Every structure is written in structure tokens, then in C-alpha cells.
């Protein structure tokens, strides 16, 4: 039996991993790609029943992908699109509604929200979502209050899922640091903006709201192209990532 395919368009490895873990037990194939050209190529191969896309992507944006699909003739135009983004301002939501986007999910979304989105798109039965543990599962030793809240809010109370995701993020952070260092060295403030945007979501998902706010501030400074401020703010966030 061929499983239905769900296409995830997300360039941040940590967030893609969270989505993979959240949807792991559903009867579908998750196909991950990091940019619009790869997404379109996967669409042309057929079998895609849902597209989940970020808006901030390298090269063409998720918004441009939605616009392409809206104007495209043929079966791909009928594939529902769920926009999964931290940038869902009222103006962006209005623009997406005009493009008839099927669903909008704000980052960080919960495991339950992601599962329900896919279940609805694939007409899968609802009820118990996956096998995630009920709230109260044993978490890491002496978790902070913010982390306990994150486990309940984003991981359906499943501390083991939280720990698995946290472990994958810890492996990714050194690569993120190298990416941030390269962006500063090359004065590529758009690359730094994308990195800070992703880190803001990941850190909030992991229960670090203060560091998430710092990443959001860096994102705004990078969007403004404020080189001096970026060089001041990046080292603090960099140091914190390396200490985890």
C-alpha cells in the first residue's frame, strides 16, 4: 500500500526534526525539502496530499511558493497548503487568506496541532493523537518551570519526546554557531536573520523564553542591516548556544 505523502518545506534542521518527531506515528510519508525548487520537483513526482511550508526560506520565499501554486494549473493547485511560520502577522494572515491558504500554524506549534493538521488534510480518524504520553510523564532531572511548561504546551506532556528533540537540537547548535559566524564574517545579514528567526522558535520550543527573545531581537537587527548591533548581539547568543 502506498502511503500518502506530506511535503515539508523547511530549511531549519531543528524545526524539521521537530515536525518529523511529531508526525512519526501517522500513516504517511513525510518528504522534507529546504527550498522552493526542491519542493516543486517533489510535487511533480506526485502523491503529495499536503504541503507544510515555512515563509522564510533561502531564495524564493514560502509566500512565493503559495503564489506559484495558486496560479499553477493542474492537480498540484488542488493540494492543500498549511503555512507554518513565526511571521504570521495580521497583514501576512490577510495576504495568505486572499491566496486561499488552507491552514496557518504559528511557530512554535504543538505536537497536537501538527498531528491534527495532517489528520484533517488526509482525512485520518481523530481521537488519541499518536502515542504521546499524557501530561505528567517523567522529564529530565530537575527541569526548569519554563521547560515543564514547554513539555506540556508543545510536546503533549511527553517528556521523552522533549528530551529526544532537545538532544537533536544540541547536536545542531554547533552547526548553527558556525553558520552565524560565517554570516557575520561575510556581512550576510539576511542569512543571520534567517538563522535568528529559526533559533527564536527552537529556543522557545525548548523552554528558553529569554534566549528566544534575544534571538528575535537579533532577527530584527539583522533585518534592518544594523551591522554594529548584530556584531554586538550575536556573540552573546553564540556563547549561550555553546554552553548548552
- In the Cβ-directed half-sphere of 77, how many Cα atoms lie within 13 Å? 8
CATH topology of domain 160-243: 1.20.120
State the Cα torsion 215-220-226-232 to the nearest 10°: -20
Helices 90-98 and 62-71, interaxial angle, to 10°? 20
Tell me the mean pLDDT per 10 residues along the chain, length 244: 91 95 94 96 91 95 93 75 94 95 94 94 67 45 78 92 94 96 96 95 95 96 96 95 88
pLDDT value, residue 65: 95
Listed in order, the ranges of the chain carrying CATH 1.20.120.160 are 160-243
Listed in order, the ranges of the chain carrying CATH 3.40.50.2300 are 5-131
CA 122 – CA 5 distance, rounded (Å): 9
CA 227 – CA 187 distance, rounded (Å): 7
Q: Are 173 and 223 in contact (CB under 8 A)?
A: no
Which class is 5-131 in CATH?
alpha beta
pLDDT value, residue 75: 64
Amino acid at each position: 500500500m502506498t502511503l500518502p505523502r506530506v511535503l515539508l518545506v523547511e530549511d531549519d534542521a531543528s524545526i524539521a526534526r521537530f515536525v518529523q518527531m511529531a508526525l512519526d506515528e501517522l500513516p504517511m510519508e513525510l518528504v522534507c525539502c529546504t527550498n522552493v525548487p526542491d519542493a516543486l520537483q517533489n510535487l511533480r513526482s506526485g502523491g503529495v496530499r499536503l504541503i507544510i511550508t515555512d515563509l522564510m526560506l533561502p531564495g524564493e520565499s514560502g509566500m512565493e511558493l503559495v503564489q506559484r501554486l495558486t496560479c499553477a494549473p493542474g492537480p498540484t493547485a488542488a493540494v492543500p497548503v498549511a503555512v507554518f511560520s513565526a511571521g504570521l502577522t495580521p497583514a501576512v494572515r490577510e495576504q495568505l487568506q486572499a491566496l486561499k491558504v488552507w491552514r496557518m500554524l504559528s511557530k512554535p506549534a504543538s505536537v497536537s496541532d501538527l498531528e491534527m493538521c495532517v489528520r484533517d488534510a488526509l482525512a485520518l480518524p481523530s481521537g488519541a493523537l499518536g502515542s504521546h504520553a499524557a501530561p505528567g510523564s517523567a522529564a529530565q532531572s530537575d527541569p526548569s518551570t519554563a521547560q515543564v511548561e514547554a513539555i506540556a504546551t508543545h510536546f503533549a506532556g511527553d517528556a521523552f519526546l522533549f528530551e529526544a528533540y532537545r538532544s537533536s537540537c544540541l547536536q545542531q547548535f554547533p552547526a548553527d554557531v558556525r553558520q552565524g559566524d560565517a554570516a557575520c564574517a561575510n556581512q550576510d545579514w539576511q542569512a543571520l536573520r534567517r538563522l535568528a528567526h529559526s533559533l527564536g522558535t527552537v529556543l522557545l520550543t525548548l523552554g528558553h523564553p529569554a534566549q528566544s527573545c534575544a534571538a528575535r531581537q537579533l532577527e530584527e537587527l539583522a533585518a534592518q542591516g544594523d551591522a554594529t548591533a548584530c556584531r554586538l548581539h550575536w556573540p552573546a547568543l553564540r556563547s549561550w548556544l555553546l554552553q548548552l
